[in-house]
Amino acid sequence: MEMDEEKIDDAVLALLWLTLHDGDRAWKGFDWDVMDRLYKKGLIANPAGKAKSVVLSDEGLQRSEELFRALFTRAK
């Protein structure tokens, strides 16, 4: 089975929005390869370090909310 890393990255970014706190921080308990790809795309700050959360960039915040709404909400 071949995985679509773009779809995985989108899902993780959407889930980061779900765990937002302090305005722009999210818990970083996701696969390191995915987190590294999101960092390279400029959507999050460098995830390496002792902190249990990561800062989302302005673009990352906007995109994560869009993806969360598209992937995980129901139409009324």
For range 29-39, the mean pLDDT: 95
CATH, domain range 5-72: 1.10.10
Query: Is residue 42 very low, low, confident or very high in pLDDT (cuts 50, 70, 90)?
Result: very high
Q: Could you tell me the residue ranges of all domains in the chain?
A: 5-72
pLDDT at 9: 97
SS in 3 state form for 3-72?
CCHHHHHHHHHHHHHHCEECCCEEECCCCHHHHHHHHHCCCECCCCCCCCEEEECHHHHHHHHHHHHHHH
Of 67, 27, 68, 66, nearest to 44 (Cα)?
Answer: 27
- The answer, yes or no, to whether residue 12 has pLDDT greater than 90, is yes
Cα-Cα end-to-end distance for the chain = 35
- The answer, yes or no, to whether residue 75 has pLDDT greater than 90, is no
- The answer, yes or no, to whether residue 56 has pLDDT greater than 90, is yes
pLDDT at 52: 92
- Contacts for 61 with CB less than 8 Å, ≥ 6 apart: 17, 20, 24
